[in-house]
A and B are shown apart, each in its own frame.
Chain A
Amino acid sequence: KNQVEQSPQSLIILEGKNCTLQCNYTVSPFSNLRWYKQDTGRGPVSLTIMTFSENTKSNGRYTATLDADTKQSSLHITASQLSDSASYICVVYQGFGNEKLTFGTGTRLTIIP
């Protein structure tokens, strides 16, 4: 069964600290992986999109990594800010004739001052 599992479920860190969120997937075939940020009461917003040939991609203080062999991805947040408090959702797109997107349940990140 195609699944996307994220860990931890929730995380609390001090402002200014770094953190890493994990995403493991069993989706096949695999075309690309996206990370979304969802603020409370808002819709998800795309942070990065990575194809199987990309290992690392950065978007400001957000850096995503992808290991297509082990089917793992991580999202590293550097020098966290209060505005980083949100849920982070990992999404895998199958492609190759299958339009299906498989969503993880998200990691709830709380930044405290």
Chain B
Amino acid sequence: NAGVTQTPKFQVLKTGQSMTLQCAQDMNHEYMSWYRQDPGMGLRLIHYSVGAGITDQGEVPNGYNVSRSTTEDFPLRLLSAAPSQTSVYFCASSRQGGANVLTFGAGSRLTVL
């Protein structure tokens, strides 16, 4: 049982480049979300989805896009990377919303030069 799988684990981008962070879960969870973790700050919610075809913004959505075409996948897109987006990104899922315990992926470390 793989749980939540994130790829890539590490990525270096130049300012203005675009990329997609992949997230997949095999637990049939309805709720999926993306967080960023920066030094000295708690995890901050970027975008979340309560089911296929439904997405919504979190606390820090600017500069990021998401889509949810299947229950299993929830990719995070950076359209034009900026140095302020240098961070560690975590995908998390749960059976049903924030009430349930989140299962996190291993994280993706992104550096924007």
Q: How far is the CB of B93 from chain A (nearest CB, A)?
A: 11
In the bound assembly, the distance between CA atoms of A31 and B90 in angstroms comes to 23
Interface residues in A55-98 (C-beta closer than 8 Å to B) = 89, 93-95
A43 touches B42 (CB 8 A): no
The chain A residue with its CB closest to the CB of B101 is A46
Any A CB within 8 A of the CB of B41: yes
In the bound assembly, the distance between CA atoms of A4 and B106 in angstroms comes to 23
CB < 8 Å: which of B41, B48, B98, B106 contacts A43? B106
Contact code string B1-17 (vs A, CB < 8 Å = 1, else 0): 00010000000000000
Q: How far is the CB of B4 from chain A (nearest CB, A)?
A: 7
Residue of A41, A44, A46 with most partner-chain B CB within 10 A: A44
In the bound assembly, the distance between CA atoms of A42 and B41 in angstroms comes to 17
In the bound assembly, the distance between CA atoms of A102 and B97 in angstroms comes to 14
A41 touches B98 (CB 8 A): no
In the bound assembly, the distance between CA atoms of A104 and B90 in angstroms comes to 16
B99 touches A43 (CB 8 A): no
Q: How far is the CB of A113 from chain B (nearest CB, A)?
A: 27
Q: How far is the CB of B96 from chain A (nearest CB, A)?
A: 10
Any A CB within 8 A of the CB of B112: no
Return chain B residues, CB-CB under 8 Å to A101: 45, 98, 102
Any A CB within 8 A of the CB of B34: no
A4 touches B42 (CB 8 A): yes
Any A CB within 8 A of the CB of B19: no
Which residues of A pack against B, CB within 8 Å? 4, 31-32, 34, 41-46, 49, 89, 93-95, 99-106
Can you show 17 pairs from A to B with CB atoms below 8 A apart? A32-B99, A34-B101, A41-B106, A43-B4, A43-B105, A43-B107, A46-B103, A89-B42, A93-B98, A94-B98, A95-B98, A99-B97, A99-B98, A101-B45, A101-B102, A102-B42, A103-B44
Which residues of B pack against A, CB within 8 Å? 4, 40-45, 48, 90, 92, 97-99, 101-107
